[in-house]
Structure formats: structure tokens, C-alpha cells
Amino acid sequence: MDPAMVKFGTTTGGGTWQWRFKVLAPIKAAANPAIASPADKIATVRAALSLNIKELAAILRVQRPTVYSWIEGEAEPQTENARRLNALFELARSWSGLAAQPLGEDVRRPHFQEGRSFAELLSEGDLNDPSLREKLRELEAAQRARTTRKKKSLRETLAEKGINLPRNSETVDMLTGKRISDE
């Protein structure tokens, strides 16, 4: 039985009911990724790279039900699928080492040659290609640049649009929104 499974039962009316719960908490940096289960790897990939099941299946070149069977522990990936999953898992770990936040919508936004997204690059190519790690660094730099931009005041934003507000021409009561005259 998978160590991430919790199994317990209760007896009601002479019968035994059993429930299984699977813990899908992502592992950010497993000490030994070789022992991580396919479900743990999928959880890590989905959490770090913000992929949905459909995108993940396309990248791994399998059908969605196959991914679900790996998550539930009902099946194990075949050799080639396991290689692709391991390579994707390593990319997810690389992203977790670069950024504190998940990749988010950047995975779907066109950033690269011919307007392709990172998810498209993953599904089209070799997941062991070193250029993918470089693309992750580019995405991290773009995220960092977006979050460190200085917030503009309303006055600055309006000035960019050609609307110049006179400075201190009127005073407004913040509670009522009414003008306060100087008289």
C-alpha cells in the first residue's frame, strides 16, 4: 500500500465500510526523487507549474484517464511515460528553486518563438532539453519584473492619459465626498 494512503473502517449494522484518502500534498524538494510516487510527482508538477490535468496529459502524451489512474495508484507509468514524468518533475523542482510562487497563468501565455506558451513547448519537445530550464529562468525574471514594478498614483495614471489634475485646488471631505470651502 502507498505510504501516502490512509485506510480505516467503521462497522455499521454488521458490515464493514472502508474509505481511502490519498494525500496529494506537493513535495517541493524530495531528498530522493527516485522514491516519490507518480501521484506525488504529479502533485508537485501541477502545483509548481500550474498545469491542469488536460495540459499534463498532453505534455506526458497520454490520455486524461491514464493520469487519473496514476494519481489514484491504480496503475504505474510505463517506461517512456515514467521518463517523461520524471523529466517534468525535475523541471517543476527547478521552478520551485527559482520562484516562491507557482508559475501561474504564465504557463499558458505566449512568451516564446512564434507566440508559443511554455505549456506548448513542453508538449512539443524533449523534456530533458536544457533550453527548457533557460525558458523557466526567463519566465521567473518576467514574473519578478512584474511584481517589482512601482505602483503609480491616480494622478500619474491620469497624466499619462493627458488628464492633468490641478494640485491642491480643492479639498474634499473623505467621508462625505463633498468639497470643503476655504471660507
pTM of the model: 0.65
pLDDT at 31: 46
Other beta carbons within 10 Å of 21? 10
Q: Which of 4, 89, 11 is nearest to 48 (CA)?
A: 89
Domain ranges across the chain: 5-180
Q: Which residue has the cell 499534463?
A: 56
Write the pLDDT tens digit of every residue in 94-122: 999 999 889 999 999 998 877 889 999 99
Mean pLDDT (the chain) is 79
Q: Confidence band (pLDDT; 50, 70, 90) for 3? A: very low
Q: Which of 69, 65, 4, 79 is nearest to 35 (CA)?
A: 4
How far lies 86's CA from each of 27, 48, 55, 106, 162, in Å?
14, 14, 16, 22, 54
Other beta carbons within 10 Å of 51? 24
Other beta carbons within 10 Å of 68? 14
